[in-house]
C-alpha cells in the first residue's frame, strides 16, 4: 500500500501547486484583447500594472512561462513607480509561479517579501493568504510540522471571516491539511478534510478545487476500502467516471495544467485495475498536454512515476529503469517520488540480474531513508493542530497522535522489511553468480584432466610404442653391422634412447601412472624425490581421495615446485600434506627470492591455482616477502 499511496501523494503535489485559493469565476476578458490593449493602448501605470496582473493570472494554468514573464514585468514596473500595494501582490504571484516550477526556496523568498509588505501596509487578509502559501511550500519540502503551523494560523483567520469569497480559501486550506494527512498515510483523516473541502468547493463553484478534490478522493478510496474494492469492477468504474467528471470541469475553465494531473490520476486508477492499455493512453494524453502547457517538473515526474510502474508491472524492466532515471534527473526534492523511483530502479536491476547496479541504488536508497527519518517531519506535526482542534472540539487529538505514531512506525517497519528483502535478493544473486563461476571452473578443470589423460595415453601407447619398436629393430640389426660401423650405429641409437626417456618423463608429468595406480602419496613421493633439493612429507592416513582432487593437488604441487625453481631461484623446497578425517592441508615452502603478494597484478599461474582450489571447496593463503621465501598453504574439506 505504501508505494500506491506515494503515487497519490504525487498527484496531490501536482494539484496543490496549481490550485488557486478562490474560485476562478468568469475570465476577466479575452486574453487576446487584453494583450492587444497592453500593446497599443495609452495606459496609465496603474492600468498597465493591473493588465500585467490579470494576464499573469489568465496564463497561470495555460502557459506558466508566459504567466511568469507578465508577472516579472509587472513586478519591475511596480518597483519602478514605487507602488508597494502592487509589489506585494506581484511578489505573492511570483512565489506561486516558483511553486508551480517546484523552486521552493525561491518561492519562499518571494512570499516573505510579500508578507513583509502586507505587515507594513496593515493588510491582514493578505498576510494570511501568504501564510497559507508559505505553508504549502514547506509542505512540498516535506516539513509538515512547519506547514501545519502556517495552515492553522491562516485557518483561524478565515474561520472568523464572514466574507463569502473566503469560503473558497477555507476550502483550499482544508484541501492542503488533507494533503498532509495523505502524505503521512493517515488516509481516514485525509478523507475527512477532503470531504470538507469538496463541500465548500461545490458551494462556491470553485471548479478547479472541486475537480482536484474529486480526483484525490477517487485515488484514496481504494486504499481505504482495500482489495475488496479493487476486485469490484463496478465500483472501480464508478471511480473512473468521477475522475472523468473532474476532467470535464477543468475543460470548462480551460485549465489544461490540472488536466495533466487528472490524466495521471486516471492512469493510476487503470494501473490498479491492471488495465495497462488505458493507463498508457492516459499517460500519453498527459504528455500531449505538457507540450502545450510547458515542461514543468511537477507535471512530468507524476507521469513518469506512473509510467515506470506500468512498465514494471508489464515486465519491461529496462524501460522501467530508464523512465525512473528520467524522473530523478528532473526532480529529487520530493522524497516520496525519489523513494519510488529508486525502488523501481533497484527492483528492475534485480529482475535483470544486474546485482552491482542494484547494490549502488540500494546504498543510495538506504542513505536517503536515514536522512528522511531524521528530517523535520518526524517532529510532532500536530502541535499547532491541537490548539485549533481544542477550540473547535471537532477531533480527538490524542487519537490522532497515536494514529500518526502508529503509521510512522509502520512506515519505518515496512521500509526496513523492504531493505532486508532487497538485501537478501541481492546476496542470493551474488551467491548464484559465484556458484555458476565455480561450476564453469570445475568443468574446465575436468576437461583439462581428461585431455591430459588422453594425451598422455596417446603419447605413451602410440608414439612411445613406435619408438620402442624402432629401438628393438635397430638392436636386431646391430648383430649384422660390420665392426667398423658399430660406433656410428651407437651414435644413432643414443639419441633414440634419450627421446624415449624424455617421452616417458613428459607423459609421467602430464598424468603419472603412479597417481592412478597408487594414489597421491606415492606419486608425489616419486615426483619430489626426482628433483634435488625437494623434500616431501605426508602425515596421516594414505587413503585414496576423490580422483579429481588428487589430480588437482598433484598438478598444483607440480606447478608450484617448477615456479619456485624457475622464477624464485629456490635451493630448498618443502612439500607437506597433512591428512585428517574431514580435511586435508597442503603446504609448499621455498627459500627463494619471495615476492609482495599485493603487488602481483598479472600472470595466470596463481589465478588458475586459486580457481582450482575454489572449485574443489578449498581455501588458499599466500605468505611471502621479498628476499625471505614463500609459503603457500591450502585447506580442503573432505
Tens of pLDDT, residues 67-121: 888 889 999 999 999 999 999 999 999 988 888 777 888 989 999 999 999 999 9
Classify 574 as helix, strand or coil: strand
Compute CA distances 241 → 225, 227, 237, 261, 273, whole Å: 18, 20, 6, 16, 14
Question: Which residues, in sequence order, are CB contacts of 358 under 8 Å at separation 6+?
Answer: 345, 346, 349, 350, 422, 426, 429
What confidence tens digit (pLDDT) does each residue in 342-384 have? 888 888 888 888 888 888 878 877 777 666 665 544 444 444 4
Q: Single out the residue in 395, 425, 453 at which a domain terminates.
A: 395
Q: Are residues 222 and 340 in the same domain?
A: yes
What's the N-to-C CA distance of the chain in angstroms?
Answer: 50
- Give percent above pLDDT 70 in the chain: 73
Q: Residue 468: its pLDDT value, please?
A: 59
Instruction: Using the predicted structure, report yes or no on whether residue 2 has a pLDDT greater than 50.
Output: no
Instruction: Using the predicted structure, report yes or no on whether residue 211 has a pLDDT greater than 50.
Output: yes
Helices (H), 479-624: 486-510, 513-518, 520-529, 547-566, 605-615
Contact at 8 Å (CB) between 507 and 464?
Answer: yes
Q: Are residues 119 and 174 in the same domain?
A: yes
Encode burial over 418-449: b for 16+ CB neighbours within 10 A, e otherwise.
Answer: beeebeebbeebeeeeeeeeeeebbeebeeeb
What confidence tens digit (pLDDT) does each residue in 44-57 have? 888 888 888 888 88
**Which secondary structure element, helix H or strand E, spans residue 225, and what is its range?**
helix 207-225
Is residue 280 situated within a structural domain? Answer: yes
Q: Are strands 618-624 and 573-579 parallel, antiparallel or unpaired?
A: unpaired
Q: Are residues 306 and 371 in the same domain?
A: yes
Instruction: Count Cα atoms within 13 angstroms, Cβ side, for 571.
Output: 1
Tell me how far apart the alpha carbons of residues 465 and 599 are, in angstroms, rounded to a whole number: 48
What confidence tens digit (pLDDT) does each residue in 441-463 have? 556 555 555 565 666 555 555 55
Q: Are residues 552 and 468 in the same domain?
A: no
Phi and psi of 519, rounded to 5°? 100, 180
Question: Which residues, in sequence order, are CB contacts of 287 under 8 Å at separation 6+?
Answer: 303
Helices (H), 294-316: 297-313
What is the side-by-side order of every strand in the sheet holding 534-539? 534-539, 573-579, 583-590, 630-637, 618-624
CB atoms within 10 A of CB 175: 25
Q: Are residues 458 and 546 in the same domain?
A: no
What confidence tens digit (pLDDT) does each residue in 518-576 have? 788 888 898 898 888 899 999 988 888 888 888 889 889 988 998 888 888 889 999 99
Cα angle: 161, vertex 179, 27; to 5 degrees = 60
Encode burial over 48-70: b for 16+ CB neighbours within 10 A, e otherwise.
Answer: bbbbbbbbbbbbbbbbbebbbbb
Q: Are residues 500 and 521 in the same domain?
A: no
Is residue 529 situated within a structural domain? Answer: yes
Q: Are residues 450 and 544 in the same domain?
A: no
Q: Residue 380: its pLDDT value, please?
A: 46
Cα angle: 463, vertex 466, 469; to 5 degrees = 155
Instruction: Count Cα atoms within 13 angstroms, Cβ side, for 116.
Output: 7
Is residue 415 situated within a structural domain? Answer: no
Is residue 429 situated within a structural domain? Answer: no
**Which secondary structure element, helix H or strand E, spans residue 236, and what is its range?**
helix 233-252
Any bridge partners for residue 583, and if so which?
637
Give the residue carrying C-alpha cell 556458484: 435
Tell me how far apart the alpha carbons of residues 575 and 539 are, in angstroms, rounded to a whole number: 11
Any bridge partners for residue 578, and if so which?
539, 585
CB atoms within 10 A of CB 232: 13
Is residue 411 situated within a structural domain? Answer: no
DSSP assignment of 496-519 equals HHHHHHHHHHHHHHHS-HHHHHH-
Q: Are strands 534-539 and 573-579 parallel, antiparallel or unpaired?
A: parallel
Any bridge partners for residue 633, and if so which?
587, 621
CB atoms within 10 A of CB 142: 16
Classify 170 as helix, strand or coil: helix
Contact at 8 Å (CB) between 412 and 375?
Answer: no
In the chain, the number of structural domains is: 3
* Residue 470 CB-density burial (10 A; 0-12 exposed, 13-18 middle, 19+ buried): middle
What confidence tens digit (pLDDT) does each residue in 22-73 have? 454 444 456 677 777 777 768 888 888 888 888 888 887 677 788 888 889 9
Give the alpha-carbon dihedral of 426, 430, 431, 432, to 10 degrees: 100
- Rounded to two decimals, what is the model's pTM? 0.50
Is residue 24 situated within a structural domain? Answer: yes
Q: Single out the residue in 364, 395, 426 at which a domain terminates.
A: 395
Give the residue carrying C-alpha cell 600434506: 577
Q: Residue 575: its pLDDT value, please?
A: 95
Residue 123's pLDDT band (cuts 50, 70, 90) = very high
- Give percent above pLDDT 90 in the chain: 17
Compute CA distances 7 → 2, 12, 30, whole Å: 9, 9, 37
Contact at 8 Å (CB) between 183 and 36?
Answer: no
What confidence tens digit (pLDDT) does each residue in 130-186 have? 999 899 888 888 788 888 899 999 999 988 888 888 888 898 899 888 888 887 778
Q: Residue 6: its pLDDT value, please?
A: 44
Contact at 8 Å (CB) between 577 and 537?
Answer: yes
* Residue 319 CB-density burial (10 A; 0-12 exposed, 13-18 middle, 19+ buried): middle
How much is the mean pLDDT over the chain? 78
Give the alpha-carbon dihedral of 414, 417, 421, 424, to 10 degrees: 160
Q: Are residues 490 and 535 in the same domain?
A: no
Give the residue carrying C-alpha cell 636386431: 476
Give the residue carrying C-alpha cell 500519453: 284
Q: Are residues 352 and 492 in the same domain?
A: no
Any bridge partners for residue 588, and if so which?
575, 632
Is residue 32 situated within a structural domain? Answer: yes
Q: Are residues 475 and 523 in the same domain?
A: no
Domain extent, residue 486, equals: 438-510
Q: Please, which contacts does 384-389 make with residues 24 or more away whose CB atoms are closer than 8 Å?
A: 384/145, 384/148, 384/149, 384/151, 384/152, 384/153, 385/148, 385/152, 387/152, 388/152, 388/155, 388/156
Tell me how far apart the alpha carbons of residues 189 and 424 are, in angstroms, rounded to a whole number: 36
Most confident of 247-256, 393-402, 443-452: 247-256
Tell me how far apart the alpha carbons of residues 89 and 85 are, in angstroms, rounded to a whole number: 7
Chain mean position to CA 563: 47
Contact at 8 Å (CB) between 64 and 84?
Answer: no
Which is higher by pLDDT, 469 or 74? 74
The domain spanning residue 620 has which CATH number?
A: 3.30.565.10
Q: Are residues 321 and 461 in the same domain?
A: no
Q: Single out the residue in 479, 510, 541 at which a domain terminates.
A: 510
Q: Are residues 454 and 523 in the same domain?
A: no
The domain spanning residue 220 has which CATH number?
A: 1.25.40.10
Which is higher by pLDDT, 367 or 437? 367
Is residue 486 situated within a structural domain? Answer: yes
* Mean pLDDT in residue range 599-627: 79
**Helix and strand totals (H; E) in the chain:** 27, 5
Cell of 367: 542513505
Amino acid at each position: 500500500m505504501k508505494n500506491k499511496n506515494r503515487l497519490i501523494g504525487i498527484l496531490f503535489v501536482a494539484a496543490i501547486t496549481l490550485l488557486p485559493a478562490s474560485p476562478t469565476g468568469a475570465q476577466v476578458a479575452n486574453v487576446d484583447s487584453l494583450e492587444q490593449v497592453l500593446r497599443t493602448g495609452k495606459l496609465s501605470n496603474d492600468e498597465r500594472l493591473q493588465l500585467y496582473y490579470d494576464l499573469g493570472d489568465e496564463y497561470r494554468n495555460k502557459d506558466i512561462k508566459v504567466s511568469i514573464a507578465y508577472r516579472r514585468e509587472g513586478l519591475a514596473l511596480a518597483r519602478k513607480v514605487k507602488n508597494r500595494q502592487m509589489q506585494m501582490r506581484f511578489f505573492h504571484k511570483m512565489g506561486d509561479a516558483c511553486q508551480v516550477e517546484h523552486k521552493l526556496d525561491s518561492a519562499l523568498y518571494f512570499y516573505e517579501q510579500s508578507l513583509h509588505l502586507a505587515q507594513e501596509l496593515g493588510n491582514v487578509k493578505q498576510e494570511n493568504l501568504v501564510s497559507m502559501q508559505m505553508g504549502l511550500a514547506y509542505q512540498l519540502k516535506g516539513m509538515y510540522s512547519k506547514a501545519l503551523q502556517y495552515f492553522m494560523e491562516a485557518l483561524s483567520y478565515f474561520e472568523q471571516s464572514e466574507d463569502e469569497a473566503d469560503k473558497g480559501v477555507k476550502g483550499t486550506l482544508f484541501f492542503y491539511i488533507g494533503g498532509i494527512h495523505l502524505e503521512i498515510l493517515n488516509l481516514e483523516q485525509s478523507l475527512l478534510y477532503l470531504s470538507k473541502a469538496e463541500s465548500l468547493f461545490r458551494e462556491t463553484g470553485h471548479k478547479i478545487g472541486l475537480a482536484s478534490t474529486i480526483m484525490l478522493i477517487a485515488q484514496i478510496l481504494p486504499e481505504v476500502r482495500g482489495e475488496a474494492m479493487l476486485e469490484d469492477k463496478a465500483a472501480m468504474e464508478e471511480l473512473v467516471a468521477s475522475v472523468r467528471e473532474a476532467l470535464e470541469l477543468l475543460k470548462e475553465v480551460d485549465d489544461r495544467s490540472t488536466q495533466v494531473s487528472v490524466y495521471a490520476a486516471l492512469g493510476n486508477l487503470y494501473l490498479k485495475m491492471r488495465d495497462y492499455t488505458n493507463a498508457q493512453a492516459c499517460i500519453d494524453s498527459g504528455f500531449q498536454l505538457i507540450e502545450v502547457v510547458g515542461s514543468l517538473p511537477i507535471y512530468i515526474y507524476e507521469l513518469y512515476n506512473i509510467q515506470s510502474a506500468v512498465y514494471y508491472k508489464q515486465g519491461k524492466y529496462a524501460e522501467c529503469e530508464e523512465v525512473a532515471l528520467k524522473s530523478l534527473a528532473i526532480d529529487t526534492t520530493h522524497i516520496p517520488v525519489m523513494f519510488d523511483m529508486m525502488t523501481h530502479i533497484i527492483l528492475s536491476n534485480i529482475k535483470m540480474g544486474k546485482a552491482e547496479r542494484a547494490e549502488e541504488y540500494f546504498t543510495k536508497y538506504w542513505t536517503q531513508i536515514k536522512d528522511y527519518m531524521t528530517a523535520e517531519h518526524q517532529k510532532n506535526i500536530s502541535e499547532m493542530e491541537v490548539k485549533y482542534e481544542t477550540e473547535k472540539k471537532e477531533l480527538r487529538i490524542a487519537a490522532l497522535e497515536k494514529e500518526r505514531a502508529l503509521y510512522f512506525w509502520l512506515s519505518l517497519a515496512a521500509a526496513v522489511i523492504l531493505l532486508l528483502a532487497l538485501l537478501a535478493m541481492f546476496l542470493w544473486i551474488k551467491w548464484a553468480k559465484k556458484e555458476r563461476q565455480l561450476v564453469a571452473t570445475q568443468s574446465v578443470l575436468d576437461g583439462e584432466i581428461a585431455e591430459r589423460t588422453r594425451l598422455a595415453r596417446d603419447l605413451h601407447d602410440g608414439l612411445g610404442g613406435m619408438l620402442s619398436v624402432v629401438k628393438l629393430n635397430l638392436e636386431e640389426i646391430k648383430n649384422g653391422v660390420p665392426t667398423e660401423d658399430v660406433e656410428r650405429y651407437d651414435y644413432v641409437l643414443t639419441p633414440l634412447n634419450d627421446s624415449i626417456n624424455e617421452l616417458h618423463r613428459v607423459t609421467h608429468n602430464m598424468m603419472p601412472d603412479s597417481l592412478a595406480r597408487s594414489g597421491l602419496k606415492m606419486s608425489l613421493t616419486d615426483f619430489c624425490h626426482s628433483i634435488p633439493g625437494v623434500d616431501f612429507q605426508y602425515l596421516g592416513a594414505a587413503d585414496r581421495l576423490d580422483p579429481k582432487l588428487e589430480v588437482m593437488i598433484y598438478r598444483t604441487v607440480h606447478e608450484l615446485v617448477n615456479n619456485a625453481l624457475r622464477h624464485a631461484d629456490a635451493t630448498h623446497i618443502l612439500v607437506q600434506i597433512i591428512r585428517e578425517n574431514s580435511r586435508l592441508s597442503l603446504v609448499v615452502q621455498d627459500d627463494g627470492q619471495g615476492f609482495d603478494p599485493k603487488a602481483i597484478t598479472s600472470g595466470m599461474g596463481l589465478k588458475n591455482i586459486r580457481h582450482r582450489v575454489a572449485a574443489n571447496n578449498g581455501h588458499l593463503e599466500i605468505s611471502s616477502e621479498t628476499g625471505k621465501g614463500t609459503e603457500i598453504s591450502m585447506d580442503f574439506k573432505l
